[in-house]
Amino acid sequence: MKKNTETMNSQHRENQQGAIFSKAEPPVQMASSRSRRISKIALASLSALVILAMMFVLVAIEPAQGQVDSENGSSAIQEHTVTQHTITGYCPSRMSLADSASYGDSQFQATSGDISSDSAHAAFGAIYDSSITAFPNGDGTALATQLEDKDPTDDAAVSVAQSTVNAHALVQNTQLLDTKNGAGAASSVVSQATQGDLRGLSATSCVSPTLSQSFLLPPTDTGWTQQLVIANPTDKATAISINVWGTGSDGTLALNTARTVTVGAGSESVYDLAAAAPQQDGLFVTISSKDTAVAAVVKVVGLDGLKTLGSEYVTANGSASQSMVLPGVTKGQHVKLLAYAEAASKISLSWVTKAGLKNSRSESIEAHRVASIDMGSVPDDAMAISVTADNDIHASAITTVNGSNGQQDFGVIAAQSTPQFSAIALPKGLDGSLVVANHSTQKASADIDSYNADGSRLETTTVQVGPNAASSLALSDLGSHVAAITVRQQQSSKDALSWDIALSSSTLDKAKVAASSYLQPISLMLQHAKITVNETVGVLR
């Protein structure tokens, strides 16, 4: 047994040694595996270098033009016509003094007196909604007044509303169901006073927001104030750039105040033009908005010590033109013509009567400088002023009337291009005359429709005006309590006619207060724009 045991132990030792010997062979296999890993790393590095080289070729080397799809063969141009369905009209607040603070003795303090203010609003055509809201309305709590057609049985499709204007401005928002010529909205504001420093009449048609506007304005002599009120009805703030030209020198004036003003979203800003450019006999002012369309009106007030020189809202001029007519002047007024041109120009001025032009005269105006031309008293039969020039110009007429005790009032007629369809909304309690003037050498005709506060049609009148002539209609001839008027020029007229309403007030007449003011028409033409989309297929680099 002992021998067998030793034999078994000997065999066990041999097996262990064999096992140890067999574990000594793997180092050859490990070396082979390490070589394979090194080869893989080398191949991966080489592949990365090849990929980087290909990327460099694609980025740095421009492909041959023959390998790029032709632009003409792969372009898609589409045109879309966009029409304006929403119309916004901004109506300024009641006429006010620039500085209403009290200084010194009460008898020498400026006062607004018994001033009152009213507005009128009208919408024409297929209207989804038209409403008036106080502005600014930052918290959204101001109640809206809806326009309504109280006589839907007729074919007029006119909605009307009238309101009182106080310290807040108004905004009329109108949504059209159908966009076509003759559909749209018009509104206006009038302020009047028989006492105080704002005695007289101030009126304006409400204005639509635009990116750029230009104004011709009365003097900035001592005692005159000019508040440029800029309203931003959008939800985005914008910066306004202001440039001013005067009568004193050529080129833009060096202003005493900043040339820019910021208008917050849904708010107003006021810029003092008289302080920025004093001692000028007239101003030409341009404003441009950087980001959003804005509405602007200038409140002008003239005082000479205790003498009231008048007040007026002034709105933007139309585009510069070589031929224009300014309707609405009447006997007893004194007229100054303001003109501005980009190039030196010779202009011809004439009074327009029912029979044609009268008392023509020529004047020369300098480039980039406002010209103030005294035209004297209006002849008995004159109803408008004709202005022609050898270059495009801007022009406005300032009409002044005298009352008792040295009181004066003035109005401003801005040259406007009157389209085929246009309208005016008329505040209650006013009188006046509708004046139509023809600046062409051919006879022109227009159809005039008047409406009352219920939207019912009162009268339809056709007026024919001879070449370079004018015609006038009393508002009383167009019906009782006229609230809105539309004018449609006949196709043969080709927009030759310009018209406005020269206002008067029985309240001021009874108080023996002189008054001069005008309402100018609002376009009812279809507003549209073309958008072009050009899609080009090519290599994106």
pLDDT range class, residue 485, cuts 50, 70, 90: very high
Tokens 């005298």 correspond to 402
pLDDT at 279 over 60: yes
Least confident span in 36-40, 75-79, 113-117, 184-188: 75-79
Q: Residues 132-187: pLDDT tens digits?
A: 999 998 777 777 899 988 887 778 899 999 999 988 999 999 999 888 899 999 99
- Please write down the HEC assignment for all residues of 380-441: CCEEEEEEEEEEEEEEEEEEEEECHHHCEEEEEEECCCCCCEEEEECCCCCEEEEEEEECCC
Predicted confidence at residue 319, as pLDDT, reads 92
For residues 49-68, average pLDDT: 60
Q: Cis check for the bond before 136: say yes or no (omega within 30 of 0).
A: yes
Cα separation, 176 vs 179, whole angstroms: 6
Helix (H) / strand (E) element for 286: namely: strand 283-289
3 state DSSP class of 67: helix
Predicted confidence at residue 60, as pLDDT, reads 57
The pTM of the full predicted model, rounded to 2 decimals, is 0.82
Predicted confidence at residue 109, as pLDDT, reads 64
Predicted confidence at residue 494, as pLDDT, reads 78
pLDDT range class, residue 57, cuts 50, 70, 90: low
Cα separation, 188 vs 518, whole angstroms: 10
User: What is the residue extent of each domain of the chain?
Assistant: 81-528
- Give percent of the chain above pLDDT 90: 70
Helix (H) / strand (E) element for 130: namely: strand 127-135
Mean residue pLDDT of the chain comes to 87
Predicted confidence at residue 14, as pLDDT, reads 44
Under a CB-based contact definition with an 8 Å cutoff, are residues 209 and 233 in contact?
A: yes
pLDDT at 31 over 60: no
For residue 357, what are the β-bridge partners?
352
**Length of the chain (residues):** 541
Predicted confidence at residue 110, as pLDDT, reads 76
pLDDT at 503 over 70: yes
Q: Report DSSP letters for 203-271, one per residue.
A: EEE-B--BSEEEEEE----TTEEEEEEEEE-SSS-EEEEEEEEESSSSSB---SS-SEEEE-TTEEEEE
Q: Residues 290-330: pLDDT tens digits?
A: 999 999 999 999 999 888 999 999 999 999 999 999 999 99
